Chains A and B, each alone.
Chain A
Amino acid sequence: NAGVMQNPRHLVRRRGQEARLRCSPMKGHSHVYWYRQLPEEGLKFMVYLQKENIIDESGMPKERFSAEFPKEGPSILRIQQVVRGDSAAYFCASSPVQAHEQFFGPGTRLTVL
């Protein structure tokens, strides 16, 4: 049973470009979460999605960030007009139901030049 998959593993963008991060949850999991880890810090919740629905986006910056989890395909975290402060590791997690153990992907390390 494959784990949570994320791609790309490393992404380099110049200021002002767009970053798209992809996450495929574990088989049978319909709940997806995105977390961000800034350098030398712990992980911070960003957004919680189920298929075609954003359930809780209380941790998302108000501008430039968006997330989706379409009926078909992976969940996407999109960052428009990236700035240097967006450089971080972005982790995706999934769970089979709410209030259950979350399993994490390997992360995408975004570097903004």
Chain B
Amino acid sequence: GIQVEQSPPDLILQEGANSTLRCNFSDSVNNLQWFHQNPWGQLINLFYIPSGTKQNGRLSATTVATERYSLLYISSSQTTDSGVYFCAALYYGGATNKLIFGTGTLLAVQP
């Protein structure tokens, strides 16, 4: 089955710093999503990005489907960015339609 790997597993930043999180996937996927799980456990949709680049405020994401990776950029990090960032690849084929999640990057932004 599809494998999704994320790096780094954890990251500590000072407020204001920039960071890049990486997601590698092992096979062709139909789509890719990035999520932020905040310290209260809620999953927040960040990007739905099968290919190309998207930006939303201080966050942007790039997916290069042919090379099987996606990157999430966080600029000018804030303490509220803390939490776990997951990427998830959508596997759709036949009767199945499911997200395969990576193991996440735990981000701590210190004031």
Contact = CB atoms under 8 A, between A and B. Distances in A.
Interface string A19-37: 0000000000001010100
Interface of B is mostly: strand
B101 A58 contact: no
Interface stretch (A43-51, A61-69, A70-78): A43-51
Interface residues on A, range: 20 to 34
Nearest to B91: A45
Contacts of A48: 96-98
Q: Identify the 8 closest CB pairs spanning chains A and B, nearest first.
A: A101-B48, A45-B98, A42-B101, A104-B43, A99-B92, A56-B96, A43-B101, A98-B97
Indicate the member of A101, A103, A107 with the most B CB atoms within 10 Å.
Answer: A101
Interface residues of B, number: 23
Interface of A is mostly: strand
15 contacts: A31-B97, A35-B99, A35-B101, A42-B102, A48-B96, A56-B98, A59-B98, A91-B43, A99-B30, A99-B31, A99-B92, A101-B31, A101-B45, A102-B33, A102-B99
Interface in B75-99: 86, 88, 90, 92, 95-99
Contacts of A43: 43, 86, 88, 99, 101
Nearest to B98: A45
Interface of B: 30-31, 33, 35, 41-43, 45, 48, 86, 88, 90, 92, 95-104
Contacts of A41: 103
A58 B96 contact: yes
Contact of A99 (B35, B43, B86, B90): B90
A55 interface: yes
Nearest to A50: B97
Contacts of A33: 97-99
A113 to B, nearest CB: 20
Contacts of A82: none
Indicate the member of A31, A43, A100, A109 with the most B CB atoms within 10 Å.
Answer: A43
